[in-house]
Amino acid sequence: MELYLYIALFAPLVGSLFAGLFGASPKTLVTGVVNSSLLFASFVASSILLVHVLNGETVHVEMMTWMATGNLYIPFGFVVDQVSVTMMMVVTVVSTIVHIYSIGYMDHDKGFNRFFSYLSAFVFSMMVLVMSDNFAGLFIGWEGVGLCSWLLIGFWYHKETATWAANEAFIMNRIADLGMLIGIFLIYWNTGTLQYDKAFAIMPTLDMTTLIYIGIFLFVGAMGKSAQFPLHTWLADAMEGPTPVSALIHAATMVTAGVYLVVRANPLYHLVPEIGLFIASLGAFVAMFAASMALVNRDMKRIIAYSTLSQLGYMFAAAGLGAYWVALFHLMAHAFFKALLFLGAGNVMHAMNDELDPFKMGGLRKKMVGTFIMMTLASIALAGVFPLAGFFSKDTILEVGFVEHHYVIYTVLLLTAGLTAFYSFRLVALIFHGEERYKLFGFHPHEAYKFMLFAMSPLAILAVIAGSFKTTYFDMVTKLLPETEYHIHSHVVEWVMILGTQAFVIAAIWYAYKKYINFKGEDKEFEKRLCYKILINQYYIPYFYEEYISKPYKELSDILWRKVDLKIVDATVDLIAMTIYKTGENTRTMQNGNLSSMLRWMVAGIVILLSLAVAFGLAVRYSDEITSVLSGLGV
């Protein structure tokens, strides 16, 4: 099994290096084919490892020693267990499909080869993150996905908005990563190891204050990667990258890393339930917060991005309440229909010359039947309608909140489910139904390449059937995670909740269709309202960051540069350099090559040395007298 582990891990790296060889060359179709094939090999190897884990076995290898000094020992170690293999399957399935899809999507892009190099490196970094058996290895993958996200979000670097979004994502994640790094230092300082199994075994012996600090700092890192409030603004702005990148970031890599960290560190968070309750409360808030912004947004990709942010809130709510397997199950189910939504959005963008405003579309189902069917299926799954995948995972999260008596969290998540259904089908109605508004703007839409639709079809199937894996998944993953099942004791209450939730969701879908299926123009009256202005401006949080953090910081930096750096630091360095230079200028005449002059300087030097020697001798000889005189003077 060790061989399959190495194939699953390193196949994406080989693909990245191969594509990198042609990075500066014109488009080479072979790079897309080779990289996609290598990702498929990684998927096959992960599938074989999944079967091995289903049989109750795990794989743990140490390739080599990485750090060994004093009591510190960190190997390049990797583990395939019930949690990591789940993430491996999600990452490889979605990544393989995204790679194949990208062959068509990036067909005319000059950076075709460079794109595939970055994309495969992104996958490799995520595989390192989820397969490492220690916090140091996880942090390497953590920083790797941060770097690759910067490269991919800013892939079209000639666009100022793309480079700005890439820098925003990178800097905001660096802020959060400092917190995570402090957490890792605290783990080593208090346990003497960074290996998961050893560190978690020692943690119950630590005092509560230390555990709380470790839990907080690790979660700060998770907040950055998974874009939780207040470190959330980068996620929607990251839509400046190519759409396949958005699909990968939102479904399988980057943002799922924070949820994985909390799930992986479940022995720690089990010991500090107060931190868990905070995580759950923040997750419920973010779920509602993000969904509300999606209600009015007019950018197709940003709406789907806010949807991701909202669903991440669901995952953290489940993990914070101790339902780690539920959080991971929703992560898996969400990956399939969210990737499908983004790739469908990519098809629409290509058909509409990169137009993102759904109000300029309408009636596209006639021109894009395949994309219409797949995006509708993905939206139904996202809304949590039975019997698609989203129902089974999302409904279980609602049950967790109810069973654990956190009724406020339950209510917030229930309301969010209705909002999710509304904005999802608002988007579907505006894009695919109603009048063909695109004709007014001169667009001539067309369906995507058939092989792109074929590549998307496994995601459509999984979006429908993934919920049926729930029992098998539970039996597997609860061998490592807490095996709590969440059932409402009263069947009547359970059925009322399920049917009530479904009715609420379907009513939201019906209202979205009713309002937008024949929408002919903009709602000017609604756009004048305060609530619309608040939501469309993201609660003015980006404005607050810009006006009260970024600008003051920039002004302070400018003042320090002009007043301190130039006038003090640079002036001091320049003074030292000038003093040395002038001293050299004034003394260079000593080395003029004239023998008489050299002899005079030699005599002068001898006189000075003799004078110093005599002075030193007299000082030693009369040291007692000198001391008594100085004492009399009070020195």
Q: Residue 112 and residue 416: Cα distance in Å, rounded?
A: 39
Q: Is the pLDDT of residue 249 over 70?
A: yes
CB atoms within 10 A of CB 220: 21
Tell me whether residue 615 is exposed, middle or buried, using C-beta atoms within 10 angstroms of its C-beta: 0 to 12, 13 to 18, 19 or more: exposed
pLDDT at 614: 86
Q: Is the pLDDT of residue 317 over 70?
A: yes
The answer to whether residues 372 and 335 touch, using CB atoms and an 8 Å cutoff, is: no
Q: What is the CA radius of gyration of the chain?
A: 31
Residue 558 half-sphere exposure toward CB, CA atoms < 13 A: 6
Question: Considering the entire predicted model, what is its pTM?
Answer: 0.88
- Name the E strands within 445-574: none
- Write the CA distances from 524 to 427, 440, 528, integer angstroms: 19, 19, 7
Residues 183-231: tens digit of each pLDDT: 999 999 999 899 999 999 999 999 999 999 999 999 999 999 999 999 9
- Name the E strands within 16-97: 59-69, 72-80
Place of tokens 């990245």: 16
pLDDT at 635: 56
**Cα distance from N-terminal residue to C-terminal residue, the chain:** 81
Q: Is the pLDDT of residue 600 over 60?
A: yes
Q: Residue 231 and residue 367: Cα distance in Å, rounded?
A: 39
Q: Is the pLDDT of residue 521 over 70?
A: no
Task: Name the DSSP letter for residue 155.
Answer: S
3-class DSSP assignment, residue 231: coil
Tell me whether residue 341 is exposed, middle or buried, using C-beta atoms within 10 angstroms of its C-beta: 0 to 12, 13 to 18, 19 or more: buried
pLDDT at 630: 63
Q: Mean pLDDT over residues 142-171, rounded?
A: 93
Q: Note the Cα 237 to chain centre separation in Å.
A: 13
Q: Mean pLDDT over residues 13-24, rounded?
A: 89
State the pairing for strand pair 72-80/59-69.
antiparallel
Is the four-CA dihedral 512, 515, 520, 522 of positive or negative sign? negative
Residues 467-503: tens digit of each pLDDT: 888 889 998 998 999 887 776 777 788 888 889 989 9
Tell me whether residue 178 is exposed, middle or buried, using C-beta atoms within 10 angstroms of its C-beta: 0 to 12, 13 to 18, 19 or more: middle
CB atoms within 10 A of CB 509: 22
Residues 41-54: tens digit of each pLDDT: 999 999 999 999 99
CB atoms within 10 A of CB 245: 27
Residue 62 half-sphere exposure toward CB, CA atoms < 13 A: 9
Place of tokens 């010991």: 271
Q: Mean pLDDT over residues 333-349, rounded?
A: 94
User: Which range has the worst mean pLDDT, 379-388, 519-528, 536-545?
Assistant: 519-528
Beta bridge partners of 67: 74
The answer to whether residues 285 and 317 touch, using CB atoms and an 8 Å cutoff, is: no
Q: Give the helix ranges, DSSP H, for 133-272.
A: 135-153, 160-191, 196-202, 208-225, 233-237, 243-251, 255-264, 266-271
Q: What percent of the chain has pLDDT over 90?
A: 64
Tell me whether residue 624 is exposed, middle or buried, using C-beta atoms within 10 angstroms of its C-beta: 0 to 12, 13 to 18, 19 or more: exposed
Q: Is the pLDDT of residue 575 over 60?
A: yes
Q: Residue 121 and residue 18: Cα distance in Å, rounded?
A: 11
Which two structure tokens, joined as six digits, stand for 609?
């040395």
Q: Would you call the peptide bond into 387 cis, given omega within 30 degrees of 0 as the criterion? A: yes
Q: Would you call the peptide bond into 230 cis, given omega within 30 degrees of 0 as the criterion? A: yes
Q: Mean pLDDT over residues 243-265, rounded?
A: 92
pLDDT at 634: 62
Mean predicted lDDT score pLDDT of the chain:
90
Q: Is the pLDDT of residue 605 over 70?
A: yes
Q: Mean pLDDT over residues 357-386, rounded?
A: 92
Q: Residue 594 and residue 605: Cα distance in Å, rounded?
A: 17
Q: Residue 116 and residue 121: Cα distance in Å, rounded?
A: 8
CB atoms within 10 A of CB 602: 10
Residues 420-469: tens digit of each pLDDT: 999 999 999 999 998 888 888 888 888 888 999 999 999 999 999 998 88
Q: Residue 123 and residue 91: Cα distance in Å, rounded?
A: 7
pLDDT at 443: 86
Mention every residue, 6+ apart, whose C-beta is less than 8 A from residue 307.
290, 291, 294, 338, 341, 382, 420, 423, 424
Q: Is the pLDDT of residue 30 over 90?
A: no
Q: Mean pLDDT over residues 573-598, rounded?
A: 81
User: Which range has the worst mean pLDDT, 337-346, 354-363, 512-521?
Assistant: 512-521
Which two structure tokens, joined as six digits, stand for 485?
């099942």
Q: Is the pLDDT of residue 633 over 70?
A: no
